[in-house]
Structure 1
Amino acid sequence: MNSIDNRDILHDAGLDDLDSMTLENYTFPKERLKKNLSNPEKQPLVLVSCGSFSPPTNLHLRMFEEAADFCEFETDYEVVGGFFSPVGDAYKKAGLASAQHRINMTRIAVEDSSTWIGVDPWEPLHKEYLPTVKVLDHFDHELNNVMGGIDTGNGEKRRVHVALLAGADLIQTMSTPGLWAKEDLSRILGHYGAFILERSGTDIDDALVSLQQWRDSIRVIPQLIQNDVSSTKIRLFRKRGKSIRYYIPDKVVDYIYEHGLYSDDEKKQADKGKEKAVVDVVGSSQDVPTS
C-alpha cells in the first residue's frame, strides 16, 4: 500500500491525519454510532477499549464482536457503538509507536472491517498521560451531556451507558495492590463497569477475588475460540524479520511495512539503555488486552 492509499482510506472515513488535529479543533467522532435504538426497551451501551494498540490486532477487533454478541444474548443492553481510544505518547511504553501511527493504524483497521467501531483521538491528542477513568468520563460527557443520549425511536432520548472493554490482563492489573488508585477503580468498575474477554493463560477467578465488591459490574465473556495473538508477539515477529500477515488486518500490515514500524525496536531500545516502561500508579495499565 502506498501513502496515497493510506490518506484516501482516512479521508473516505472522514478521518483526517492526526497532524492537523488539536484539542481546539477536536470533534467527537459520532458518525458510526447508531442513530436509534432497535429495541426501545433496552439500555443503549457504548464500549470503549483503552490501550496501546501498537499495533492493533485481529483480537482487538474480535473483542468488540464478542462483547456485542454477549450483550445481545446475555444482557438488557443494546450496543450502539464501540471505540478504540489509543493511549498518548506520554505513556512512555517500550515498543510504543507514535500516537499518529497508532491512531492511523486503528482507523485503517476498522474502516473496511466494521460499520460500528470507531476511533477517538481525544486521548492521544493530550500531551500528558490520562488515566482510564478520565477517558471514560470524556465519553460519558460527549454521549450524554453534549449529544443528549440516543433516540429511542419515538422521539425521546435515552442516556447511554459507557463501559470499559478489555482483555483478561486488565483485571489482573486491577487486582494488583497499589497499581490502580482505589477511587479510580471505584468509578471505573462501580459506575461504568467492564466487559472482560477471557484469555488463555490468565486466571480471571483469582484476579476477581480482590475485586468482589464490583463483581456484579464485571462481565466476563468466554472466548470460545482461543486466540492469544498479542501486539508484543507481532513486534517480536517484526524484529526477527518474520511475516505478520493474517495476525492483523491486511491494510495495517501494509501500513507497518510502508513506514518501517517495529523492525528496529530492539536497536532503539538498546540505544535508549533499555528504558523501562512507566506505569502510572494513580491511573491505569493502559495496554489492554495485549501489550
Structure 2
Amino acid sequence: MTDNTKTHVILLSCGSFNPITKGHIHMFEKAREYLHKTGKFIVIGGIISPVHDSYGKPGLVPSRHRLTMCQLAVQSSDWIRVDPWECYQDTWQTTCSVLEHHRDLMKRVTGCILSNVNTPSTTPVIGQPQNETQTAIYQNHNTMNNKPTAIKLWGKMSESMGKICCVRSYLIHVLFVYWVSNFCLPIYCPELRILLLCGSDLLESFCIPGLWKDSDMEVIVGDFGIVVVPRDGVDTERIMNHSSVLRKNKDNITVVKDDANHPMSIVSSTKSRLALQHGDGHVVDYLNQTVIDYILQSQLYINASG
C-alpha cells in the first residue's frame, strides 16, 4: 500500500494522568510502531487528554498540575501533544464526548473523511473556524515543512496557557490548527481516523455492567475504534469475548502485540504515587526526571491519598 492509500491515524489517550508515567508514553510509541508494521496505517499524531477536575477520583491533583506534568513528559516528542480542552470544560466529559470533539475539530480543519462523520455531535467545539477563509488558510499550511518547529512552538506556548483566561479558547484553536497543519498528511487523504489508545484495564472496564453507557460503547468501539496495549498476563481475547459490544466490533479493535514483552506495569500512576509517598528510589522507573522534579517542587502526592 502507498502512503496515500493507508489510513492516517491520530491516537487519543484519555485518563487522569495523575501523574503521567513513562508507561503512558511507551503505550503511544508501541502502538505507533505496531500500527506501522501492519502496513495499513500511518500514525501522524498523538493526543493526551487529561480528565476534568470534577471527575472526583480520590487524590486527583488539579488539572493545571497534571497538564504541566504531561507537557514536561512529551516535550521531546515531535508527534505527541497535550490537549487542555477536556480540562477547560465546565464539568467532566465522557470519553465519547472527547472523541467527538476531536473528530469534529479535525474534520473541520483538515477536510479529510473521519470516522463517525454521519453522526451529529452535541459536544461544543472550541474555536472552530467560522468561515471558509480560515479553513483555506489552514489547508495552505499543509505544504509547510517545519513540523518540529511547530511542535516546539506548541510546547512553549501551551506551558503558559493555563494562565490565560479571556483569550484561552482562541489560542487553543490557533495552536491546534498550527500543530495539525504540520502533520504528514498527503495531498489526497482518503481517510483520517481518531483511535482511542488504552490499556487492557480500560478494555476490561467495558465488561463491568452499568459502568459504561451502551450507546457510548457503540460509538467508541464501533464508530471510532480502539488500540489496546495489553498489560502483563492479561488475556485480551477473553475480555473481548465477554462483551457483546466488543465481540460485535472486533474488527475495530487492534491489540498491540509486543514481542519484546516490555513490562506495562510502569503505566501505573498508583504505583508511582506510592513510591513518591514512601520515598522509594524506584520512582525513577515510573516517571521522567522532569516530572519528578516538578512534583517535588510543587509538593504533589507527598501526603495524597489513593
TM tier relative to shorter chain: 0.7 to 0.9
Residue 64 to residue 153, structure 1, CA distance change in 2 (3 Å): closer
2:262 to 194, 219, 225: 225
Cα RMSD (Å) of the superposition? 1.8
Ranges in structure 2 where 5+ consecutive residues have no aligned partner: 113-138, 143-183
Match for 1:80 among 40, 44, 51? 44
Contact 2:4–2:190 (CA under 8 A) maintained in structure 1: no
Larger proportion of helix: 2
For residues 183 and 90 of structure 1, the distance between their equivalents in structure 2, rounded to whole angstroms, comes to: 23
Could you say which residue in structure 2 is the equivalent of 1:234? 272
Task: Specify the alignment match of 1:275 in structure 2.
Answer: none
Q: How do 1:192-271 and structure 2 match up within 5 A?
A: 192-209=224-241, 210=243, 211-223=246-258, 224-229=261-266, 230-243=268-281, 244-266=283-305
Gap runs ≥5 in structure 1: 1-37, 270-291
* 1:126 has 2:94 as partner: no
- CA 148–259 in structure 1, closer or farther in 2 if over 3 Å, else same: same
DSSP-derived class of the 1:177 partner: coil
- What residue identity is the alignment partner of 1:216? D
The answer for the alignment partner of 1:28 in structure 2 is: none
**Identity over aligned residues, as a percent?**
34
The aligned amino acid for 1:198 is P
Q: Secondary structure at the match of 1:196?
A: strand
- 1:157 CA drift (Å): 4.2
Name the aligned partner's letter for residue 97 of structure 2: K
Post-superposition offset of 1:97: 1.2
Structure-to-structure mapping, 1:61-76, within 5 angstroms: 61-76=25-40
Q: Distance in 2 between matches of 1:153 and 1:94?
A: 41
Residues 234-266 of structure 1: CA deviation (Å, up to 9, x unaligned): 111112122322321110111011001100013
Q: Which is further off, 39-48 or 180-189?
A: 39-48
How many residues get paired?
229
3-state SS of 1:104 partner: helix
Structure 2 residue matching 1:124: 3-state secondary structure: coil
- Give deviations 1:84-139, integer Å, cap 9, x for gaps: 00001010101211100001100110002x11000110001113110000100011
Secondary structure at the residue paired with 1:121?
coil
Give the distance between the partners of 2:84 and 2:92, measured in 1 at CA: 14
Residue 52 of structure 1 corresponds to 16
How far apart are the structure 1 equivalents of 2:210 and 2:238? 17
For 2:186 and 2:27, locate their aligned partners in 1 and report how far apart those are by CA, in whole Å. Answer: 32
Whether the 8 Å CA contact 1:85–1:123 is kept in 2: the answer is: yes
Tell me, in whole angstroms, the C-alpha distance in 1 between the residues paired with 2:219 and 2:295. Answer: 36
Query: What TM-score does the superposition give when structure 1 sets the normalisation length?
Result: 0.74
2:50–2:66 CA contact under 8 A, matched in 1:
yes
- In structure 2, the CA distance between the partners of 1:148 and 1:181, relative to structure 1 (3 Å rule), is same
Distance, in Å, in 2 between the alignment partners of 1:202 and 1:248 is: 23
* Contact preservation (8 Å) 2:222, 2:252: yes
Contact 1:46 1:161 in 2 (8 A): yes
Counterparts in 2 of 1:146 and 1:259: CA distance versus 1, 3 Å? same
Q: Secondary structure at the match of 1:40?
A: coil
Q: Which residue of 2 aligns with 1:40?
A: 4
Q: Does 1:93 align with 2:57?
A: yes
Quote the offset at 1:206 in angstroms: 2.3
